[in-house]
Amino acid sequence: MQVRVNGSAHEVDVEPEMPLLWLLRDVLDLTGTKYGCGVAYCGACTVLLDGAPVRSCSLPASAAAGKEIRTIEGLARGGTLHRVQAAWIEYQVPQCGYCQSGQIMAAVALLEANPKPSDADIDAAMTNVCRCGTYGRIRAAIHAAAQA
């Protein structure tokens, strides 16, 4: 099947039911997307599929064929961080950092759909789990990125 990841087309020979997460990590060596729970709950595996956040651990690779997949590796352009990545650093969002690529991808999707989200909008859209509990910093960084 053919998949488009971060603007590049890839011809891959995988089982259609292989989770997209493993196609990204094991076949394409894009390891920024993390495995967390494996049941689409935690969101560590969040990527964007045609601009919408999806949990790649439970999405079959075949569901992504012919669509645009964007991973954390596809955010920075020409050595410049995406505004959400820059805000994450400025607001020192991560503690352990494990869930952050999924958090960032969810935040990017939110800001692309809603450039000036309220706290309620952020709370509704950011369903990823952070075991370190940095939700206040996540919200502050999203507001800062919205102003950038």
Q: Do 70 and 48 form a contact (C-beta atoms < 8 A)? A: yes
So what's the pLDDT on residue 139? 97
pLDDT at 52: 98
pLDDT of residue 50: 98
State residue 7's pLDDT score.
97
In CATH terms, 2-74 corresponds, of 3.40.50.970, 1.10.3720.10, 3.10.20.30, 3.40.50.12240, to: 3.10.20.30
Count of H helices and E strands in the chain?
A: 5, 5
Give 10-residue mean pLDDT values along the chain (148 residues): 97 97 98 97 98 98 97 96 98 94 98 98 96 95 97
Burial of 100 by CB count in 10 Å (0-12 exposed, 13-18 middle, 19+ buried)?
buried
Which residue, among 36, 26, 37, 32, has the nearest Cα to 6 in the 3D structure? 32
Q: What pTM did the predictor assign?
A: 0.96
Q: Give the helix/strand (H/E) hosting 88.
A: helix 83-90
Was domain 83-147 assigned CATH 1.10.150.120?
yes
- Mode of pairing for the β-strands spanning 46-49 and 52-55: antiparallel
Percentages of the chain per state (helix, strand, coil), in multiples of 5: 40, 15, 45
